[in-house]
Chains A and B, each alone.
Chain A
């Protein structure tokens, strides 16, 4: 099937909580997972296929993902391999603004981008969290991300001793 046809038919997707969203084929093909599904349907399948169920993505997150893929539908996205060479010091201002959201939404977005196989969105959202971790002490990390300190004093001493070998004096 030629999925790069010039016309851009409508495609429907359904979130895990049963909400249906409509978008274009060109946009949804940014998801490697859905692209694989569509390629397996065969010739002429897109027009006749029903809504695609996405059981691992809730409606709030799916709405965010669709906003992102529709904005980027005309840009051919880098592959997972190309992402490895990415430098982190320049981000498209639109994406920077798009990622201004609560942590719970960001966590859900990361999980969805991974499930839907959208490497660029996964990179942007994981990088966003990483930038929040950067240059923080362990206590600051625990406090910001609501993490319980589950180390025993003996265990943390062993980790500290090992980490000393990795810190250049």
Chain B
């Protein structure tokens, strides 16, 4: 008799279904009751579904059997769908609103229903606000992540709603000309851990006094790109960075002036930093982890005498030039390179090497002391990895870990080298 998939225990069916997309899960739910029940009873599978609030669904009845956690809104008639939120509001964790004109009163109603929201994503949202809306009690949300993109004229009210809530991660792009409001919002955010700001055209208003310096948030990550402070405001920003230096672990900037206000953080990400001549005063001994992305700082190795981990992402100058600088950092133990072409390595202290999306690779020149204590190699989506096994042989290396992800492997060469690898992971 032909074997039946639906005779497998539900636990096993769920393991199979985890490999599938929401479209395939919908086909399975039509196939038989057991599959539909297995899908509806597993929160990991339910996370693959998103409820779509779009105008064409206006006349479709909705009596949900499932517990949805994600919703997507793209409609100018949010008020017509409030009943949907009453059905699923308690379970909703993530909401995205895109290209929608919304009555403010409806958004407030939605927030009052969806008390457990953790992730909010607003993209080109426009709010129609009446004077009376300001008299309504704003709902309090406790959010893990809030993304704002191109809010145009609605920033003011959204900030007002948010100032009553707490956010851990705030990521903003193109929220123009409302820095005074943003400053007030930030002052209310005692739980803020990650703050990312891109293309804020009047950003200087954020640091025109010390009011942010005194806020007691535990900021761990700060990203301020396309952000240039003019002279008189630099002391405010410098004081802000000094005040929060104990907590800030990652600082990302593409500005020379803000770079000069660098606190004593341990991790630094530099993106698109224009070429700068740093003086001998600009030495950053606390930086141990450095990420460089499409930027250019001449002779940067002398700026970070204690750097232990370097990550070079995308087309950071010429990869070969970057590696000359890395070679000058005598303490580098971990090197990560994302995207690149042919290059050479000369790093005697290197223990961990990670190469991702590399077209070609060459270890040259192989000096005796070079790569002698290498312990871990990770290669992902690299064109050829024959060099890797050649390296193991020539250097007589014994790796503690080799991780190969999405690369073509010659099984014969691999099996010959298994004795040199303590832990092998192939994905």
CA distance A148 to B18 in the complex (A): 22
Q: Does A92 contact B (CB under 8 A)?
A: yes
Given contacts A74-B424, A158-B63, A161-B61, contact A169 B52 (CB under 8 A): yes
Chain A 6-44 per-residue mask, 1 if CB under 8 angstroms from chain B, else 0 = 000000000000000000000000000000000000000
Inside 8 A of B22's CB, which chain A residues have their CB?
166
A161 touches B60 (CB 8 A): yes
- Interface contact B24-A133, CB-CB below 8 Å: yes
Given A145-B6, A146-B2 in contact, is the A138-B31 Cβ separation under 8 Å? Answer: yes
Give the CA-CA distance A90 to B427 in the complex, in Å: 6
Contact B52 A165 (CB under 8 A): yes
Known: A74-B418, A93-B411. A165 touches B62 (CB 8 A): yes
Do B425 and A78 touch across chains, with their CB atoms under 8 A apart?
yes
Taking the nearest CB of chain B, how far is it from the CB of A132, in angstroms? 9
Q: Please, how many residues of chain A have a CB less than 8 angstroms from a CB on the other chain?
A: 55
Q: Which residues of B sit under 8 angstroms from A158, Cβ to Cβ?
A: 63, 65
The residues of A that contact B35 with a CB separation of less than 8 Å are 147
A131 to chain B, nearest CB (A): 8
Known: A107-B3, A107-B8. A76 touches B31 (CB 8 A): no
Nearest CB in chain A: distance from B312 CB, A: 23
A window 139-169: CB within 8 A of B: 141-142, 145-151, 155-156, 158-169
Indicate whether B185 reaches chain A with its CB closer than 8 angstroms. Answer: no
* Minimum-distance CB pairs A-B, first 3: A130-B19, A145-B5, A138-B30
Q: Which chain B residue lies CB-closest to A135?
A: B24
Given A127-B19, A150-B32: A137 in contact with B27 (beta carbons within 8 A): yes
Identify B406's interface contact among A78, A89, A164, CB under 8 A.
A89
B8, B65, B405, B424: residue with the most chain A Cβ atoms closer than 10 Å: B8
Q: Which residues of A contact B406 (CB under 8 A)?
A: 87, 89-90
Cβ of B4 under 8 Å from chain A: yes
A134 touches B20 (CB 8 A): yes
7 extra interface residue pairs, beta carbon distance < 8 Å, beyond A76-B422, A130-B18: A110-B15, A114-B15, A126-B19, A130-B24, A136-B27, A150-B33, A167-B26
Q: Tell me whether A156 and B30 are in contact in the complex, defined as CB-CB below 8 angstroms, given that A162-B65, A165-B57 are known contacts.
A: yes
Contact of B30 among A93, A103, A159, A165 (CB under 8 A): A159
Closest chain A residue to B3, Cβ basis: A104
Task: Considering the complex, give the chain A residue whose CB is closest to the CB of B11.
Answer: A114
CB distance from A49 to the nearest CB of B (A): 27
Q: Closest Cβ of chain A: how far from B37's Cβ, in Å? A: 11
CA distance A122 to B14 in the complex (A): 12
Set of chain B residues within 8 Å of A107, measured between Cβ atoms: 3, 5, 7-8
Q: Are A169 and B54 in contact (CB under 8 A)?
A: yes
Q: Which of A79-137 contact B (CB under 8 A)?
A: 82, 86-90, 92-94, 102-104, 107, 110-111, 114, 122, 126-127, 129-131, 133-137
Q: Which of B19, B32, B409 contacts A149 (CB 8 A)?
A: B32
Q: Is there an interface contact between B24 and A75, defined as CB atoms closer than 8 Å?
A: no
Q: Which of A75, A126, A127, A167 contacts B12 (CB 8 A)?
A: A126
Q: How far is the CA of A129 from the CA of B22 in the complex (A)?
A: 16
Question: What's the Cα separation between A150 and B84 when bound, in Å?
Answer: 28
Write out the residue numbers on chain B whose beta carbons fall within 8 Å of the beta carbon of A161. Answer: 60-63
Q: Quick one: closest A residue to B7, CB to CB? A: A107
Residues from chain A with Cβ under 8 Å of B17 in the complex: 130
Q: Report A6 CB to chain B, min CB distance, Å.
A: 12
CB nearest to B64 among chain A residues: A162
Chain A residues in 8 Å Cβ range of B405: 87, 90
Q: Is the CB of A126 within 8 A of B32?
A: no
- 23 residue pairs A–B, Cβ–Cβ below 8 Å: A92-B411, A126-B19, A129-B16, A130-B16, A130-B19, A130-B20, A133-B20, A133-B28, A135-B24, A136-B24, A138-B28, A138-B31, A141-B28, A142-B31, A147-B4, A147-B31, A151-B30, A158-B63, A159-B29, A159-B30, A161-B63, A162-B65, A164-B60
User: Is B425 within 8 A of A151, CB to CB?
Assistant: no
Are A165 and B60 interface neighbours, CB within 8 A?
yes
Min CB distance B212 to A, Å, is 37
Across the interface, which residues of A come within 8 angstroms of B31, CB to CB?
138, 141-142, 147, 149
**Cβ of A131: which chain B residues have Cβ within 8 Å of it?**
19
With CB as the reference atom, state the residue of chain B lying closest to A85: B427
Q: Is the CB of A126 within 8 A of B26?
A: no
**Bound-complex Cα distance A136 to B34 (A):** 18
A91 to chain B, nearest CB (A): 9
B140 close to chain A: CB less than 8 A: no
Query: B9: which A residues are within 8 A, CB to CB?
Result: 111
Instruction: Report the Cα distance A146→B31, complex, angstroms.
Output: 11
| B426 on interface, CB distance cutoff 8 Å | yes
Min CB distance B334 to A, Å, is: 20
Is B367 interfacial (CB-CB < 8 Å)? no
Q: Which residues does chain A contribute within 8 Å of B84, judged by CB atoms?
A: 165
User: Which residues of A lie under 8 Å from residue B396 when comparing CB positions?
Assistant: none
Q: Kindly state the separation between the CA atoms of A89 and B16 in the bound complex, as whole angstroms.
A: 16
